[in-house]
A and B are shown apart, each in its own frame.
Chain A
Amino acid sequence: GQQVKQSSPSLTVQEGGISILNCDYENDMFDYFAWYKKYPDNSPTLLISVRSNVDKREDGRLTVFLNKSGKHFSLHITASQPEDTAVYLCAAGGAKLTFGGGTRLTVRP
């Protein structure tokens, strides 16, 4: 079964709004959680990550929230911009990362 799951394959947000991307995982041994951004025909690029001893991390417009008891983490993008349009991959693990299927975010001007 899928150990890391992104239940929403797509999300559309108006420019200036908040984009909220969600990720669920099964393995409670996972201790590292990351979000990658991927354009078509490009490599996944690391955006932000947290370890399991932290439940929130901010970096500019990006915030990761980690809910370990719920085996869930999310990425919030504030003041969303058209250039945020891409596929967002969540990943979780330890020595190796297991990826979710991706959420395609579209930010409309």
Chain B
Amino acid sequence: GPKVLQIPSHQIIDMGQMVTLNCDPVSNHLYFYWYKQILGQQMEFLVNFYNGKVMEKSKLFKDQFSVERPDGSYFTLKIQPTALEDSAVYFCASSLAFGTNQAPLFGEGTRLSVL
């Protein structure tokens, strides 16, 4: 079936550096999401994105975070600069429709370790 791919599965980076997490969503999906899960805690919504724009973001989506999907390629989450508390697994998701019409399909996550 269709899959959301996240590359790489694990990324290690020094605090203060920039990191870009890549997500290859399902090809005909239009809505994109990032979720963050700190070890031992709940998976939490960061942001959703449609038609080149952020639709909604949570308090966890700090000013250092940005998302984009240039020219229909990867949907990316950029963190610049990174902080220790950014260490977590980041899940990307996509859906064909918004809200209650279709639940998002998730990728397997990228584990980000900030040292």
Write 22 A-B pairs (CB below 8 A) sorted by A numbering. A4-B42, A31-B100, A32-B99, A34-B103, A36-B106, A43-B91, A43-B108, A43-B109, A46-B105, A89-B43, A93-B99, A94-B100, A95-B48, A95-B99, A96-B48, A96-B56, A97-B45, A97-B104, A98-B44, A99-B42, A99-B43, A99-B45
Identify the closest chain B residue to A32 (Cβ).
Answer: B100
- Whether B21 is near chain A, meaning CB under 8 Å from some CB there, is no
A-B residue pairs, 8 tightest by C-beta: A32-B100, A43-B106, A95-B99, A43-B108, A99-B43, A101-B42, A44-B106, A46-B103
Q: How many A-B residue pairs have CB under 8 A?
A: 52
- Whether B75 is near chain A, meaning CB under 8 Å from some CB there, is no
A93 proximity list for chain B (CB < 8 A): 99
